[in-house]
């Protein structure tokens, strides 16, 4: 009896975890104090090149359909331009908070942390939206070879924006590894340049240009890497 009750409790907790809504940038993921600190850091490190402070300059539209870790990785890797990556991690977090505040994204009770970056989705206030043709995207799925020797990404996730054509590393790789499989299928162009047989039937990350076609979308590959040696059933 006790074992049955314990099993039921675990099942209920797992189901509740799966049903938990995705946290987004509209859910108050930084504090006002953090944004104020970020403004001070921005004035010293960023203002000379970015005089508007990115005020209402389309943060969501530029970074949507990706985790907030994508934005953080970009600024902490490439900014400031005259000394990339020179700020401390907490300073980049504060800068991110300041830029979100300048784009009218609401503050909340808890500061933005490094650990939270890969769990926060950037999207429009009314929810996810399709990416435009030609977007540079990252997709996770199962690499499958058809009977005509063409290659497709099956059980694929929805395309997420990315800023790098190279295989993911760091936070972006963490996001891809944790990405559950989806229901999409994408033919893959230019795949022979990436030795596909090495990745056959693996869970993979594919990056490339999203090609919106009349008979279905495809991806023009720029990188391909294995995330797991098999695709879970």
Domains of the chain: 24-122 (1.10.760.10), 136-228 (2.40.50)
Task: Work out the pLDDT band at 8, boundaries 50, 70, 90.
Answer: very low
pLDDT at residue 19 in the model: 40
SS3 at position 83: coil
pLDDT at residue 48 in the model: 86
Angle formed at CA 65 by CA 62 and CA 66, multiple of 5 degrees: 85
Q: pLDDT: is 85 or 112 the higher one?
A: 112
pLDDT at residue 138 in the model: 97
How far apart are the C-alpha atoms of 84 and 75, rounded to whole Å?
8
Q: Does residue 21 carry a pLDDT above 60?
A: no
Nearest residue to 162 (alpha-carbon basis) of 50, 71, 36? 71
Q: Does residue 155 carry a pLDDT above 80?
A: yes
Bridge-based pairing state of the strands 203-211 and 151-156: unpaired
How far apart are the C-alpha atoms of 154 and 231, rounded to whole Å?
10
Q: pLDDT: is 145 or 6 the higher one?
A: 145
Q: Does residue 12 carry a pLDDT above 80?
A: no
Percent of the chain with pLDDT over 70: 91
The number of angstroms, rounded, from the C-alpha of 24 to the middle of its chain's C-alpha atoms is 12
Lowest mean per-residue pLDDT among 19-33, 60-74, 158-172: 19-33
pLDDT tens-digit profile of 109-128? 999 999 999 999 999 999 99
SS3 at position 116: coil
pTM for this prediction:
0.83
- Sheet containing 120-122: give its strands across: 23-24, 120-122, 66-67
């Amino acid at each position: 009896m006790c074992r049955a009750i314990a099993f039921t409790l675990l099942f209920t907790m797992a189901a509740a975890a799966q049903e938990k809504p995705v946290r987004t940038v509209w859910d108050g993921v930084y504090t006002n104090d953090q944004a104020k600190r970020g403004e001070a850091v921005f004035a010293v490190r960023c203002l000379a090149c970015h005089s508007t402070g990115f005020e209402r300059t389309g943060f969501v539209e530029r970074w949507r359909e990706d985790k907030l870790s994508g934005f953080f990785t970009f600024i902490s890797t490439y900014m400031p331009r005259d000394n990339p990556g020179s700020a401390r991690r907490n300073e980049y977090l504060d800068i991110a908070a300041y830029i979100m505040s300048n784009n009218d994204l609401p503050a909340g009770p808890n500061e933005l942390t490094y650990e939270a970056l890969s769990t926060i989705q950037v999207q429009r206030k009314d929810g996810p939206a399709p990416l435009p043709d030609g977007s540079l995207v990252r997709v996770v799925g199962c690499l499958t070879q058809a009977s005509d020797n063409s290659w497709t990404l099956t059980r694929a996730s929805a395309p997420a924006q990315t800023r790098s054509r190279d295989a993911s590393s760091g936070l972006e790789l963490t996001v891809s590894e944790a990405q559950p499989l989806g229901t999409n299928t994408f033919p893959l162009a230019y795949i022979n340049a990436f030795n596909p047989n090495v990745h056959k039937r693996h869970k993979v990350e594919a990056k490339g240009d999203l090609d919106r076609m009349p008979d279905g979308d495809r991806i023009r590959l720029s990188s391909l890497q294995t995330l797991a040696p098999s695709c879970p059933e």
